[in-house]
Amino acid sequence: MGGSVSCCISPRESPKIHRREVELEECPITTTEDVSEDTGTYLQHISDRELPDELAQEANPSDHPRASTLFLNKSQTDGICIFLSKRSDLLLFSPGFSNQTFSSCSTIFIDDSTVSQPNLKSTIKCVALAIYYHIKNRDSNRSLDIFDEKKHPLSREKVPDDYSVVDPEHKLIYRFIRTLFSSAQLTAECAIVTLVYLERLLTYAEMDICPCNWKRIVLGAILLASKVWDDQAVWNVDYCQILKDISVEDMNEMERHFLELLQFNINVPASVYAKYYFDLRSLADDNNLSFPLEPLSNKRAQKLEAISRLCEDKYRDLGKSAMRRSVSADNLVGVKNAQAVLS
């Protein structure tokens, strides 16, 4: 750091402009009275210029598990409830309507979606709803040319003149994502990671997802998530078979820009993944979009019991191994569990 101005306060070093402004305003350059002309000005230590955890979490919800997700905040600013129905896939209802099924003494209803194995169809519906709220309640129309659909069209059809003004319907977003996931045979976990990368892009690049760029942003996030999450990733040329009119060169360029805007940060901690999953479920509840419930059958109950038994055995083995390590560390030999005496 020394006595000269370093790159830590250079305005070209980080894409998070608003964080840099807070950093420069709250942490001015300080000098001492006995500084000579040769040494120049002194900077505060880098630890003194670190942002508080609250500000860092607020700026990067896709990196910190305790920060609220962007899509949930944007959905709470809107009073209209939207959910997908079995018949038309999209219906608007009043907030008071609910199609929730309740359990009784004789019948127990459970859904087949868990944080480790989410329901594919319901997860895609929730992710499409989150993107819908991102577009509808956006702050502005900040975008980049690489994601502009008119400059980089996905099909040979003429782009409408009002493509950058009219917000896409929830039904259109859902069908676009469902087509890609169905054709590429992607998993539900990949859909959650897609939403994480999408919000990380909006935060890092300080841009908005809007009518003119939402398709290419979603496509880039799905492309990256499928390669990071799935063991057998779908190649870029395979997406060109799904979207017939897009070239491999365009896909490669978009992927490269997406990674650069993310600063090559493709890590998704388990805590962040779980936060997005449960926030998507909260979004579904707020919009009367319930996960499919089925009566608990004997076969399903036996399966859940078997899984529970495996987990119990696993934790029991972990407890025994921890006890053995403890005994070895303390040089104890022949330790036996004392018998409990019940009076």
- Residue 165 lies in domain: 70-78+110-287
Q: Report the CATH number that the domain containing residue 206 is assigned in CATH.
A: 1.10.472.10
- Residues sharing a CB contact under 8 Å with residue 83, sequence separation 6 or more, in sequence order: 91, 93, 129, 284, 287, 288, 289, 290
What is the pLDDT at residue 312? 80
256, part of any domain:
yes
Average pLDDT taken over every residue of the chain:
75
What is the pLDDT at residue 325? 52
Instruction: Give the Cβ contact number of residue 272 at 10 Å.
Output: 23
For residue 295, list its beta bridge partners. Answer: 109
235, part of any domain:
yes
Question: Is 63:110 a contact under the CB 8 Å cutoff?
Answer: no
314, part of any domain:
no
334, part of any domain:
no
Residue with tokens 């365009």: 250
How many folded domains does the chain comprise? 1
How confident is the model over 163-173, as pLDDT tens digits?
Answer: 888 999 999 99
What is the pLDDT at residue 88? 42
What's the whole-number mean pLDDT along residues 1-18?
44
Token pair in block for residue 106:
């004789």
pTM (two decimals): 0.67
Is residue 191 over pLDDT 90?
A: yes
Alpha carbon distance 265, 16 (integer Å): 14
265, part of any domain:
yes
208, part of any domain:
yes
61, part of any domain:
no
How confident is the model over 324-335, as pLDDT tens digits?
Answer: 555 554 554 554
How confident is the model over 289-316, as pLDDT tens digits?
Answer: 777 667 777 777 787 788 778 878 777 7
225, part of any domain:
yes
